[in-house]
């Protein structure tokens, strides 16, 4: 059995202050490849703190963290940077794009040390942006993009080399319904292709696409109680092969290959109810009863 993509044992983070803040209290959980874990919870409850630890951007005060079975604690800064570059894609709450670079250049950044040639890097980056509806804005500098466009470039950059772990802090916070759907499909598709995805969200519809949900409350992480419709939505995604219980093999990065992910199968919508937005959606419980 391969090691879980992420494994945290009693992970804790105290900010010494003053004032002292116990931002994360002893979180224990695993995320397997192929899983999408959603973390919900009120503002200030510790969600970004946890994501920063999982992304090796911060060090825990106590506890253990393993990434793909590798203990992160003994690693020095260089080792952590290397592991991060190879295995983790991060979508920051505030994007962190390079303002003077174009959307395409920002997206291609993680591929700089991949061994792929410049033209191959650009092709992969362009495919990742296209998949998020950004084909027309690739050559715009990041500083000139709208919030939702920046968010999609940040996601393209995080996913362009198909990392084993994708961490996304409110990846749909600035998006309209159609873009939100695109982002969800991408994240679910990445899980299907073998990544472990952890996303932070305030949006129940986004959480509905996850295979497992957690609540963060004042630094305490717990499994979310089943919410009406949410487990059903994840079941639907599994039924339809959008999510996979047996993820594919990520394998080594192939420079010639672009990041096309498996298509999401559209719902069977009765012809009497035309849908304004033709993009596929995860089915709701009501839709399932109907069809
Ligand atoms: N570097 C820091 N130094 C001191 N306190 C911090 C630091 N970073 C975060 N905190 C505190 O830790 C707590 C958790 O913050 P965190 O950013 O994880 O919340 P969050 O759940 O992501 O909130 P939001 O939904 O608003 O993004 C907050 O009380 C915050 O003020
Ligand atoms: Mg946050």
Residue 43 Cα to ligand 1 midpoint, Å, equals: 8
pLDDT of residue 266: 37
The domain that holds 187 is classified in CATH as: 3.40.50.300
Residue 173 to residues 55, 177, 183, 200: CA-CA distances in angstroms? Answer: 20, 11, 11, 10
Q: How confident is the model at residue 254 (pLDDT cuts 50, 70, 90)?
A: confident
65-97: per-residue pLDDT in tens? Answer: 999 999 999 999 999 998 988 899 998 888 889
Measuring from atom 30 of ligand 1, which residue has the nearest CA? 44
pLDDT of residue 261: 55
171-208: per-residue pLDDT in tens? Answer: 888 888 888 888 888 888 888 888 999 999 988 888 88
CB 248 within 8 A of CB 192: yes
Task: Give the residue from 127, 120, 61, 101 showing the smallest Cα distance to 253.
Answer: 120
Residue 15 clears pLDDT 50, i.e. is over it? yes
Per-residue pLDDT, averaged over 235-252, amounts to 51
pLDDT > 70 fraction of the chain, expressed in percent and rounded: 78
194 within some domain = yes
Residue 131 Cα to ligand 2 midpoint, Å, equals: 26
Q: Which of 60-69, 196-205, 281-290 has the lowest mean pLDDT?
A: 281-290
Distance of alpha carbon 38 from alpha carbon 234, whole angstroms: 12
Residue 246 clears pLDDT 50, i.e. is over it? no
- Distance spanning both ends of the chain, measured CA to CA: 38
* Ligand 1 binding pocket includes 46 (Cβ within 6 Å): yes
193 within some domain = yes
Q: pLDDT higher for 70 or 248?
A: 70
Residue of 13, 43, 44, 50 to mutate, ligand 1, most atoms within 8 A of C-beta: 44
Count of residues making up the chain:
291
pLDDT > 90 fraction of the chain, expressed in percent and rounded: 50
What average pLDDT does the chain have?
81
Q: pLDDT higher for 38 or 260?
A: 38
81 within some domain = yes
217-240: per-residue pLDDT in tens? Answer: 999 999 987 655 555 555 555 555
129-188: per-residue pLDDT in tens? Answer: 998 889 999 999 999 999 889 989 999 999 898 899 999 998 888 888 888 888 888 888
Measuring from atom 8 of ligand 1, which residue has the nearest CA? 49
| 50: three-class secondary structure by DSSP | helix
pLDDT of residue 204: 85
Full domain range(s) for residue 200: 6-290
Rg of the chain on CA atoms, in Å = 19
Dihedral in degrees, nearest 10, Cα atoms 85, 90, 95, 101 = 30
1 within some domain = no
Overall number of domains in the chain = 1
CB 153 within 8 A of CB 107: yes
The structure's pTM equals 0.83
* Ligand 1 binding pocket includes 215 (Cβ within 6 Å): no
* Ligand 1 binding pocket includes 47 (Cβ within 6 Å): yes
Residue 50 clears pLDDT 70, i.e. is over it? yes
Q: Which atom of ligand 1 is nearest to the CA of 93?
A: 27
| Block residue for tokens 């253990």 | 64
What is the bridge-based pairing of β-strands 196-200 and 165-169? parallel
Distance of alpha carbon 89 from alpha carbon 5, whole angstroms: 13
Residue 268 clears pLDDT 50, i.e. is over it? no
Distance of alpha carbon 200 from alpha carbon 213, whole angstroms: 10
Residue 57 clears pLDDT 80, i.e. is over it? yes
Residue 251 region by backbone torsions, left for phi larger than 0, else alpha for psi between -120 and 50, else beta? left
């Amino acid at each position: 059995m391969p090691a879980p993509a992420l494994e945290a044992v009693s992970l804790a983070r105290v900010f010494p202050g003053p004032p002292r803040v116990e931002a994360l209290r002893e979180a224990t959980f695993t995320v397997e490849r192929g899983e999408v874990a959603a973390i919900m919870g009120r503002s200030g409850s510790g969600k970004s703190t946890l994501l920063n630890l999982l992304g090796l951007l911060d060090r825990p005060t106590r506890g253990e963290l393993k990434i793909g079975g590798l203990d992160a604690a003994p690693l020095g800064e260089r080792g952590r940077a290397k592991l991060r570059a190879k295995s983790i894609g991060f979508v920051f709450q505030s994007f962190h794009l390079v303002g003077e670079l174009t959307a395409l250049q920002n997206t291609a950044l993680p591929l700089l040390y991949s061994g792929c040639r410049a033209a191959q890097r650009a092709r992969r980056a362009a495919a990742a942006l296209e998949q998020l509806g950004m084909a027309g804005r690739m050559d715009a500098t990041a500083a000139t993009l709208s919030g939702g466009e920046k968010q999609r470039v940040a996601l393209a950059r995080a996913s362009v080399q198909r990392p084993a772990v994708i961490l996304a802090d409110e990846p749909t916070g600035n998006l309209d319904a159609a873009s939100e759907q695109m982002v969800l499909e991408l994240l679910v598709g990445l899980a299907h292709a073998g990544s472990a995805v952890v996303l932070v969200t305030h949006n129940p519809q986004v959480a509905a696409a996850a295979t497992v949900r957690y609540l963060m409350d004042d630094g305490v992480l717990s499994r979310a109680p089943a919410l009406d419709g949410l487990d059903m939505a994840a079941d639907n995604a599994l039924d339809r092969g959008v999510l996979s219980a047996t993820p594919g093999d990520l394998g080594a990065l192939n420079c010639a290959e672009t990041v096309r992910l498996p298509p999401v199968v559209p719902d069977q919508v009765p012809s009497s109810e035309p849908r304004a937005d033709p993009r596929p959606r995860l089915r709701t419980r009501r839709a399932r009863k109907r069809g």
